[in-house]
Amino acid sequence: MKLKTNFKGQYFLATLAGIISILLWASNIAFSKSVMDKEGILLASCYIYIFSAILIWLLLPFYRNKPGFIGSTRNLPMSFHLKTGIFFIVNNVFLLIAIGLARKNEELIIVTLLNYTWPIMIYIIGIPLLRLKIPLKMLLPGIILSFSGITLALLQGYNSEDIGRIMRAGNDNILAYFLAFCASVSWATYSNLTAKYRSSDDLAGIPIVFFASGLIFLIMLGIKGGLHSFRFDALFRNPELAYMIAGPTSMGYLGWYFAIKRGNKNLVTSLSFFIPLLSLLIIHFRFNIPITFLFWLAVLLLTAGSYLCYRSFRKK
């Protein structure tokens, strides 16, 4: 009876950790943008990933509740990092650059929505990669709804003449949108590859991925001659940076893994489809950005479409 009670308590705590992770991840774009506005794109990104790598590396032995973490990190095969981790790194780098490049409020919202196409991209990429046979009766409507939402968001405020001008000149922050979508595709690819190339302790690879991501930004910072601005006391003078490191980038991932392995996986996965909606709400309150009805409609279409795809994949 005692074992059963302990199991129920752990199950509840793990599920709660997953829900908290969803809330933390929903705040990621708003607070990372705020940190970048103060520190600069490269320096802020460097801080976020290097300090997060250190924090997760320190916390993982307690999270796993067993010794030998350094050994398990070292024992992860290089092929695992090359086959999966490289896409995680690309996602990290491209997403933060896209957020930093967003100049106007509308651009930040569009970058947010493009990034959150990753649920639908997981299913689109997963079918050929994992050789799944999925019925189209729920998958196809889900894909149509999701991309209708993204199209609605992208085309707001533009007439046909404006769209033609943008496509010809490429001067409407196309790069930020492209990087945000590439980040989505990279995360979807990573998610599918972790299912294909399973590791007994893939969580141990996260500090390596984060440190590699931070190192890329550090090299870019060095090329621009800004290494002198890197200071280890930065998180003590910038509360939002400290939150980004401890919250979305560290506890978010640890809580999610805990929920998926020991909690109500179906519940937290279903709730995760509300991240785009929650993210827009946090952006709205953090920057006092008015969000039009059509943007809300766009995110609802994206959320509904992603959930339909999830339902079609659930048994697989």
219-233 pLDDT tens trace: 999 999 988 898 888
How much is the pLDDT for 7?
59
Question: Nearest Cα to 280, choosing from 50, 55, 27, 92?
Answer: 27
8 A C-beta contact, residue 99 and residue 35: no
Q: Can you tell me whether residue 84 is helix, strand or coil? A: helix
Give a yes or no: residue 163 inside a domain.
Answer: yes
Cα 98 to Cα 252: distance, rounded to the nearest angstrom:
21
How much is the pLDDT for 2?
46
- The parent domain of residue 27 ranges over 13-313
Residue whose token pair is 């894909």: 143
How much is the pLDDT for 70?
52
How much is the pLDDT for 314?
64
Question: In the chain, how many domains are there?
Answer: 1
Give a yes or no: residue 1 inside a domain.
Answer: no
How much is the pLDDT for 134?
72
8 A C-beta contact, residue 49 and residue 213: yes
Give a yes or no: residue 83 inside a domain.
Answer: yes
Q: How many CB atoms lie within 10 A of CB 189?
A: 22
What are the residue ranges in the chain where pLDDT is below 50? 1-3, 5, 69, 71, 169-170
Give a yes or no: residue 4 inside a domain.
Answer: no
Cα 237 to Cα 42: distance, rounded to the nearest angstrom:
18
Give a yes or no: residue 2 inside a domain.
Answer: no
**What are phi and psi for residue 231, nearest 5 degrees?**
-135, 135
How much is the pLDDT for 164?
57
Give a yes or no: residue 201 inside a domain.
Answer: yes
How much is the pLDDT for 60?
81
How much is the pLDDT for 309?
78
For the record, the structure tokens of 294 come out as 């059509």
Residue type, 188: A
Cα 290 to Cα 183: distance, rounded to the nearest angstrom:
26
For the record, the structure tokens of 25 come out as 């991840």
In the chain the beta strands, taken as DSSP E runs, fall at: none
8 A C-beta contact, residue 51 and residue 306: no
Give a yes or no: residue 126 inside a domain.
Answer: yes
Give a yes or no: residue 8 inside a domain.
Answer: no
How much is the pLDDT for 249?
93
For the record, the structure tokens of 251 come out as 């506890």
How much is the pLDDT for 169?
46
